[in-house]
């Protein structure tokens, strides 16, 4: 009899526990439970700063740090090489006139940013576009006038996909050596905490004469070389990639997210750009953000590889026919952070810094801090 009573009590307690779990809301996660809370500082953001003097630059950048900290972020991902150019002192790449609007500087912007960010207790990652050369006449001319400008005439070294649009050819060993040398230059010369690649690999229009497997293999050789080169210089510097949030597009463009996640020796983290709301399509019926987040979290992952998500703060308040959720709600980012927590993600990054400065972006961030203190 006593045994039967004990079993009955256990069953009742289990039922109560399950009822509490399923029918009572769980407390919201705290954003400080994420080890990475980053902001992307794009070349457009950087082009708004003053480069007339070190003092004027420091004054402008101090405001950036203040805003980033206001919203409890701990990492700034700075786009130091957007078009085979450099926002730092380089022997390999021309100074980025796209950002500085100048041909010479009296100081090194990356050196100043690194010191200032570390002084405020934050982390800095150097964001590099490994293959992208140009998107328009201005960026094309910048590379053409550099010491590697003659590469544009060599189809073995570059791929053209528009009037002024070029990427470095991922199939070329000379290109891979050039990219790796550029990464080594940054890691050896600056106290950055990480190197960050985004989603520019074989972009649309550059797939000619290659199979998907060839594209994946060519990019993977570079990724392994970059990872090993970084670790040979400083094992504490992380290497992460932020590919598209569309899994099929990743594979088609040469971003082998499966291999990078499950095998050691490629990356320290993956940060897919999950740039949708959960009220997607014209009728808002598709939970696109949740669907894509679940897909990436379901992929096999090595224990030493972290999974973060890129969040589309820049969409805040936008009136999009195909994704009305951004207009209908001002707590998309807050909801998405909770979803990431529930799925076991380790952090997130916000695209982009300028969105922290506009009204709709600030509404989203205020909701985030209010709901996830």
Total domains in the chain come to: 1
User: Residue-wise over 292-317: b if at least 16 C-beta within 10 A, else e?
Assistant: bbeebbeeebeeebbbbbbbbbbbbb
Task: Report if residue 5 sits inside a domain.
Answer: no
Q: What is the tens place of the pLDDT at every residue in 204-231? A: 999 989 999 999 999 999 999 999 999 9
Structural domain including 84 reads 35-371
**Is a pLDDT exceeding 50 seen at residue 20?**
no
Specify if 106 maps to a domain: yes
How far apart, in Å, are the Cα atoms of 287 and each of 106, 221, 284, 323, 357? 50, 35, 8, 10, 28
Q: Sorting pLDDT into bands at 50, 70 and 90, what band is 373? A: confident
User: What integer pLDDT is reported at residue 182 of this predicted model?
Assistant: 98
C-alpha pair distances (Å), 230 with each of 118, 180, 208: 20, 9, 31
Q: Identify the pLDDT of residue 27.
A: 82
Interstrand relation of 75-81 and 36-41 (parallel, antiparallel or unpaired)? parallel
Q: How many CB atoms lie within 10 A of CB 327?
A: 18
Tens of pLDDT, residue by residue over 263-287, are 999 999 999 999 999 999 999 999 9
Determine the Cα–Cα distance for residues 125 and 36; give it in Å rounded to an integer.
Answer: 11
Other beta carbons within 10 angstroms of residue 148's beta carbon come to 17
pLDDT score at 4? 59
264 contacts 302 by C-beta, under 8 angstroms: yes
Model-level pTM greater than 0.85?
yes
pLDDT band at residue 354 under the 50/70/90 scheme: very high
User: Mean per-residue pLDDT for 65-72?
Assistant: 98
Q: Is 124 within the bounds of a domain? A: yes
Contacts of 153 (CB under 8 A, 6+ apart): none
Strand locations in the chain (E)? 36-41, 75-81, 123-128, 132-134, 158-160, 166-168, 194-197, 238-241, 269-270, 306-311, 347-350
Q: Please, what is the average pLDDT of the chain?
A: 94
Residues β-bridged to residue 286: 280
Q: Is residue 29 part of a domain?
A: no
DSSP 207-246: -TT--HHHHHHHHHHHHHHHHHHHHHH-TTSEEEE--BS-
* 205 falls within a domain: yes
2 pLDDT exceeds 80?
no
Rg value, the chain, Cα: 23
What CATH number is associated with residue 313?
A: 3.20.20.80
pLDDT in tens, 135-182: 999 999 999 999 999 999 999 999 999 999 999 999 999 999 999 999
pLDDT at 18: 54
Q: Are the C-beta atoms of residues 273 and 315 closer than 8 Å to each other?
A: no
What pLDDT is stored for residue 265 in this prediction?
98
pLDDT at 101 over 50: yes
Closest CA to 262 of 302, 216, 294, 223: 302
Read off the pLDDT of residues 325-342 as tens digits, 9 standing for 90 and up. Answer: 999 999 999 999 999 999
pLDDT single digits (tens) 231-262: 999 999 999 999 999 999 999 999 999 999 99
Domain annotation covers residue 335? yes
Find out whether the peptide bond into 352 is cis, omega within 30 degrees of 0.
Answer: yes
Q: List beta partners, residue 75.
A: 38, 123
Rounded CA separation 215/251 (Å): 9
Q: Is 205 left (phi over 0), alpha (psi -120 to 50) or beta?
A: left
Read off the pLDDT band of 127 (50, 70, 90).
very high
In whole angstroms, what is the distance from residue 99 CA to residue 37 CA? 25
Distance CA 162, CA 243 (A): 22
pLDDT at 126 over 80: yes
For residue 25, the model assigns a pLDDT of: 60
Give pLDDT, residue 21: 46
Residue 208, in any domain of the structure: yes
Residues 6+ apart with CB under 8 A from 12: none
In a domain, 28, yes or no: no
**Neighbouring residues of 51: CB distance < 8 A, sequence distance ≥ 6:** 57, 99, 100, 101, 102, 105, 109
pLDDT over 70, % of the chain: 93
């Amino acid at each position: 009899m006593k045994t039967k009573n004990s079993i009955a009590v256990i069953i009742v307690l289990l039922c109560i526990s399950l009822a509490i779990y399923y029918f009572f809301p769980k407390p919201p996660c705290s954003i400080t439970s994420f080890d990475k809370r980053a902001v992307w500082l794009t070349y457009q953001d950087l082009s708004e700063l003053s480069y007339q003097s070190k003092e004027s630059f420091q004054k402008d950048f101090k405001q950036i740090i203040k805003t980033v900290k206001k919203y409890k972020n701990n990492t700034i991902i700075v786009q130091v090489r957007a078009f085979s150019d450099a926002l730092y002192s380089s022997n390999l790449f021309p100074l980025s006139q796209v950002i500085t609007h100048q041909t010479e500087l009296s100081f090194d912007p990356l050196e100043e940013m690194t010191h200032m960010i570390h002084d405020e207790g934050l982390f800095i990652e150097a964001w590099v576009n490994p293959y992208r050369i140009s998107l328009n006449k201005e960026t094309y001319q910048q590379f053409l006038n550099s010491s590697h400008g003659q590469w544009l005439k060599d189809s073995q070294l570059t791929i053209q996909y528009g009037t002024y649009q070029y990427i470095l050819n991922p199939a070329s060993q000379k290109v891979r050596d050039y990219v790796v040398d550029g990464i080594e230059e940054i890691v050896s010369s600056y106290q950055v905490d990480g190197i960050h690649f985004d989603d520019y690999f074989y972009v649309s229009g550059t797939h000619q004469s290659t199979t998907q497997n060839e594209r994946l293999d060519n990019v993977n050789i570079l990724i392994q070389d970059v990872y090993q080169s970084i670790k040979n210089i400083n094992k504490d510097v992380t290497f992460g990639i932020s590919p598209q949030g569309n899994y099929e597009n990743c594979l088609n463009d040469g971003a082998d997210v499966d291999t990078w996640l499950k095998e050691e020796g490629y990356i320290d983290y993956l940060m897919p750009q999950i740039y949708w709301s959960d009220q997607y399509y014209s009728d808002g019926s598709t939970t696109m953000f949740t669907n894509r987040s679940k897909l990436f979290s379901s992929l096999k992952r090595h224990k030493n590889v972290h999974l973060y998500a890129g969040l589309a703060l820049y969409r805040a308040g936008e009136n999009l026919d195909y994704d009305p959720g951004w207009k209908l709600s001002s707590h998309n980012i807050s909801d998405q952070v909770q979803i990431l927590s529930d799925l076991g993600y380790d952090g997130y990054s916000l695209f982009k810094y300028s969105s922290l400065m506009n009204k709709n972006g600030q509404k989203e961030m205020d909701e985030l801090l209010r709901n996830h203190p």
